[in-house]
Chains A and B, each alone.
Chain A
Amino acid sequence: MSYPSEGNLQRAIAFLAALGIGVAAYIAIAEAGGGSPVCLAGSSGCETVAKSSWSHLAGVNIAVFGIAGYALLLATAFLANDLARFGGFLLALGGFGYSVFLTYVEIFKIEAICQWCLASAVLMTILFLLCATRLIAYAGTGEAVPERA
């Protein structure tokens, strides 16, 4: 089976992690300013989700944990060794799992959808697939595998 080059996977991971930082930072900043993220098309789902108790863990906005997670994922994209591959996989796995749980909470507990949270969940899902591909394809190789000509 042929896989994308590790360099391409790293670039895609870096790009999506940077996007994720932007999304999570927007949610955190909107909330820190006393407001809520603004949903598109006039939906009030973002405000409902942001004001629910699920939006915080131990008093800290979960978007802050999101920023930290995406930042660490971004860092793994700049390294080409097993620690970065495995660490990136674990981070993306944790982020993906938590995103699945939060999406469940939005649909079945809060009964409202926050488009920004959903965007973050989609990003985390793609990042998980990319990090898993990277690990499966390149685990055990000490350095970056050169791109094929």
Chain B
Amino acid sequence: MSYADRRSRLLQLAAGAAFLALAVVLVLIVVSSSNSGDGGDTKLEGGAAVRKLVEGIPQHGMLLGDPKAPVALIEFGDLQCPVCAAYSEEILPEIMETRVREGEVKIDFRNFTIIGEESVTAGAAALAAGAQGRGWSFVELFYRNQGGENSGYAGDDAFLEAVARGAGVKDLAEWNTDREEMIPAVEESSQEAQRLGFDGTPTFAVRGRETNGIELLGTPDSTGDLEAAIDEAS
């Protein structure tokens, strides 16, 4: 092959590759823009707000905050519970922004599935996200995209995967495997809540230097009430 032929052939191949690359990038952008937020095929709300809320706060399992924080606030919640969602948006953020961010308090989310079987599926998905350090992000994002109780969304694989993706779960294949294995842990924490005498969600307990083991708080009415309980425990 002559110099001119070889050069012409290479440049033709390069031009073809460039057009192909342009097409692939355009397809990727169109496909991803037709999906909303970070959630794959499911439209999710509040992704940016959740990222801002938990950004910079350590997450280990379902624990939000410094694991060495002297006060542990334990929330027993049901992901389908609208009161839990309202609590998550209205009562807890101030505590997360101050006490948790400053390392004074850690919040431990535990599933207390009182609404239905879908809560168990969703709770297990949250624990699997927790295994990758995105448990609280999952819970917060789930609450912001809550649907009707037992309407099917909470056990829907596509919805749960969208929440996991939006929460920043990095290995979705591992998450998918883990969530099946987390169901006994969800049932266990629900039984723990019942043993403690809780009968609704969200319910809280606190443990600190000044408490004798776990002190039950029930459902404090306001951020101020929760802060007072934290102060007493610390």
Contact = CB atoms under 8 A, between A and B. Distances in A.
A2 interface: no
Contacts of B18: 93
Contacts of A101: 25, 28-29, 32
A38 B24 CA distance: 31
A109 B32 contact: yes
Contact of B38 (A44, A85, A109, A132): A109
A35 B37 CA distance: 24
A82 B10 contact: yes
Interface in B2-44: 3-4, 6-8, 10-11, 13-14, 17-18, 21-22, 24-25, 28-29, 32-33, 37-38
Nearest to B28: A101
From B24, B25, B33, residue with most partner A Cβ within 10 Å: B25
Interface stretch (A6-14, A19-27, A45-53): A45-53
A111 B18 CA distance: 28
A47 B14 contact: no
B90 interface: no
Given A44-B55, A55-B170, A89 B14 contact: yes
Interface in B164-205: 164-166, 168-174
Query: Which secondary structure dominates where chain A touches chain B?
Result: helix
A36 B17 CA distance: 34
A111 B49 CA distance: 11
A111 B48 contact: yes
Contact of B3 (A54, A85, A104, A141): A141
B56 interface: yes
A105 B3 CA distance: 42
A86 B25 contact: no
A110 interface: yes
Interface string A37-76: 0000000100110011111101100000000000000000
Interface of B: 3-4, 6-8, 10-11, 13-14, 17-18, 21-22, 24-25, 28-29, 32-33, 37-38, 48, 51, 55-56, 134, 164-166, 168-174
Given A59-B174, A140-B6, 16 more contacts: A44-B55, A47-B56, A51-B168, A58-B173, A59-B170, A86-B14, A93-B21, A97-B22, A97-B24, A105-B32, A108-B33, A111-B48, A112-B51, A135-B11, A139-B7, A140-B3
